[in-house]
Chain A
Amino acid sequence: MKIPIVRLLAVAALFAPLAAFGQKNGCIDCHDQLDDELKAPVAAFAADVHREYGLSCEDCHGGNPATDDIGLAKDKSYKGAPARGLIPVFCGGCHADAAAMRAFNPALRTDQLSQYETSRHGLLLKSGDAKVAVCTDCHAVHGILSAKMPKSTIFPWNIPQTCGRCHSDRELMAGYRIPADQVEEYMGSVHAKALFEKKDLSAPACNDCHGNHGAYPPSVTSVAAVCRQCHPSAGELFSQSPHKKAFDELGMGECETCHGNHRIEPPSTSMIGTDAGAVCVQCHDPGSRGFETAAEIRRTLDGFSAAYDEVEGLLGLARRKGVEVSDAEFSLLDVHTVLVSAENLTHGLDAAAISKAVAEGEQALGGVRTAARGAVDEASFRRRGLAVTTAILALFGAALALKVRRMGRLRRGEGSPGSPGPTVP
């Protein structure tokens, strides 16, 4: 049976990529024998995502891996390591080529390079500044891991550290007149707590607000749009409130003005109101409508919060005293949801709406309060019952002891021990 040689070769060529596995790689063999920075690529590459797709040194750097001779290895196709400024285009050689990427991972985006070119990093690079971040600064080099892997430099909870390598460097940032405290500020925020302590991967890190490849400091208006991605209800309420027009006219950032940008603290009712720590008095003078509204809202929320705390305390007391209160605690959860809802409503600045929501909550709280008081009463009832029962048992015990003593005396008075004696009542 004669199989045309061309067809055979064509079939074999289909398996060509597989040939990379198990084929001799002179680059790796040789570099593995070297030290430090010349050996590092080999060690790192073992975990690299490109390796999983059958790619190796020559696919990026060119050269001939089939030989051990360094002169022959660095043949005409050898590109070497690209200069920093040329790295984006170097990586983009494949990653911006949709047809090429389709062969490996059709679902992967191919617009990273074009996005990068619009980013602050990309624009500065184009103007000749090679100190800015290029692909390898964030993605690492040779040991590149997919963003889904927890050890990857771009896994959500590693991103602040990755960005911080440059953005926390005071000297480096001084040259661009940018502060270098953003990562530090972020790490004190409620978002960082959610990401690092609660391991909530939906919590934002640097890239969620600033963009990935197209990272650019957000403008005043765009910050709010970014916040609205996850906090739409607060955003909607704000847009319907008098603040929206006022902030727009004053050119103030919608969310940022009150909540900050990097160090966003967990919100609390102490932010609203007319005392020193409140945000409202930064703009609203005493006597003004805003001032009065702030005070009213704070009063309403504080009242509800205090009532909630009181009932929670009662339930805790009953629980500590051993009374089963999980039913009441369950109902309290619902009230807690109302409290959170009411606090969210503050973005709408509608004191009447907040009062209405709080009134609903207070009604539900009333039921829980009754149950809590009942539970505390039950604890007292148990202790009283114990006292009474112990008293009765003590009396009975005393009666028994006296009986035993009397019988003992009677028996001893009967003469020889051991004789049954008279039947003692």
Chain B
Amino acid sequence: MKRRSALDIFFGGSLVATIAAFLYPVVRFVLPPKRTGASVDSIVAAQAGELAPNSAKVFKFGAAPAILVNTPEGNLVALTAVCTHLTCNVRFDAETGTLFCPCHNGRFDLGGNVLSGPPPRPLEAFAVTVSGTDIIVSRRG
């Protein structure tokens, strides 16, 4: 006949606690997180109607910022927001319809070409497609 001693209860209890301590993180890990992963090739940058004409939105694309511009004519363009000079973030200047980098006054047109200032290279442009109400930005080529 097996006798349940205090040690046995202690042993069994701590064994169960140990197993629970390991199962808890594993279960939390497996249950899907709210944000579903890093999209790097294409991302839903905005919803239709979210951006007024002649305004822009900065969003994360992969590991770097990108900017989605709704031009005065109503066209959508998306480019990287990383200035090619010293990697500050460019902003949309509604008055001139250009992308402006406040760090050293670099200026780009909406095609990414350098208009003035120190940036040595144009900004990489992305492809924009509208699918339903989603505005999808994806890498070209």
Chain A residues proximal to chain B, CB less than 8 Å: 198, 200, 202-203, 230-234, 326-327, 330, 333-334, 336-337, 340-341, 344, 388-389, 392-393, 395-396, 398-400, 402-403, 406, 425
User: What is the distance, in angstroms, from A392's C-beta to the closest C-beta of chain B?
Assistant: 5
B11 touches A337 (CB 8 A): no
Closest 6 CB pairs of A and B: A202-B118, A396-B14, A399-B11, A341-B102, A337-B89, A395-B14
* B48 CB–A CB distance under 8 Å: no
By beta carbon, the residue of chain B nearest A203 is: B118
Contact for A333 among B15, B18, B65, B118, CB less than 8 A: B65
By beta carbon, the residue of chain A nearest B20 is: A392
Given contacts A233-B105, A340-B102, A389-B21, contact A402 B7 (CB under 8 A): yes
B88 touches A337 (CB 8 A): yes
A389→B25 CA distance, assembly (Å): 11
A425 touches B8 (CB 8 A): yes
A–B Cβ pairs within 8 angstroms, 5 of them: A230-B117, A233-B100, A330-B64, A333-B65, A337-B103
A392→B24 CA distance, assembly (Å): 13
- Chain B residue contacts of A396, Cβ below 8 A: 14-15, 17-18
Contact for B118 among A230, A337, A392, CB less than 8 A: A230
* B127 CB–A CB distance under 8 Å: no
A230 touches B102 (CB 8 A): no
B65 touches A334 (CB 8 A): yes
- Chain B residue contacts of A234, Cβ below 8 A: 105
User: What is the distance, in angstroms, from A277's C-beta to the closest C-beta of chain B?
Assistant: 24
A200 touches B86 (CB 8 A): yes
By beta carbon, the residue of chain A nearest B12 is: A399
A425→B3 CA distance, assembly (Å): 8
- Chain A residue contacts of B102, Cβ below 8 A: 233, 337, 340-341, 344
By beta carbon, the residue of chain B nearest A400 is: B11
User: What is the distance, in angstroms, from A387's C-beta to the closest C-beta of chain B?
Assistant: 12
* B47 CB–A CB distance under 8 Å: no
